[in-house]
């Protein structure tokens, strides 16, 4: 039955606070911490691997640059010490001209070959004493 104009007010009743939210908040925090630990365990080593790969790539590029520079310097050395370049400057450098009959060449088989000289095997001693 409904009485018009009557609205009961339960002012004497005080609602009890729900303390279960503390437990819910604790479980959420523990879950987030557990998830952070798991993700840190997965992501940490991966980040280290990626960082090391970048360092290896950088070092390889430095090694390649140094090898290119070394090859360039070797080519420059060979061009500066080639007989065609040294021959005109031999007198200025204090070098004596070698007569052609004293020149020897090493063949791919390991024999010394010269103009006007006999073929000499690599086992023969250079002094002529056996």
Stretch 76-81: mean pLDDT: 91
Q: Residue 70: what are its φ and ψ, rounded to 5°? A: -65, -45
Q: Is 111 within 8 Å of 119 (Cβ atoms)?
A: yes
Using one digit for the tens of pLDDT, what is the confidence trace for 99-114? 778 888 888 898 888 7
Using one digit for the tens of pLDDT, what is the confidence trace for 5-64? 767 777 777 778 888 888 999 999 999 999 999 999 999 999 999 999 999 999 999 999
**CA 103 – CA 41 distance, rounded (Å):** 71
DSSP assignment string, 55-76? HHHHHHHHHHHHHHHHHHHHHH
112 C-beta neighbours (distance < 10 Å), count: 16
């Amino acid at each position: 039955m409904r009485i018009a104009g009557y609205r009961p007010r339960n002012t004497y009743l005080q609602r009890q606070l729900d303390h279960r939210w503390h437990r819910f908040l604790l479980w959420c925090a523990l879950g987030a911490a557990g998830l952070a630990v798991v993700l840190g365990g997965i992501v940490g080593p991966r980040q280290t691997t990626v960082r090391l790969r970048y360092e290896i790539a950088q070092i390889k590029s430095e090694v390649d640059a140094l090898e290119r520079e070394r090859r360039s310097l070797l080519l420059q050395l060979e061009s500066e010490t080639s007989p065609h370049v040294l021959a005109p400057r031999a007198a200025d450098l204090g070098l004596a001209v070698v007569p052609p009959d004293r020149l020897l060449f090493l063949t791919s088989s390991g024999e010394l070959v010269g103009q006007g000289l006999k073929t000499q095997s690599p086992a023969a001693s250079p002094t002529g004493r056996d």
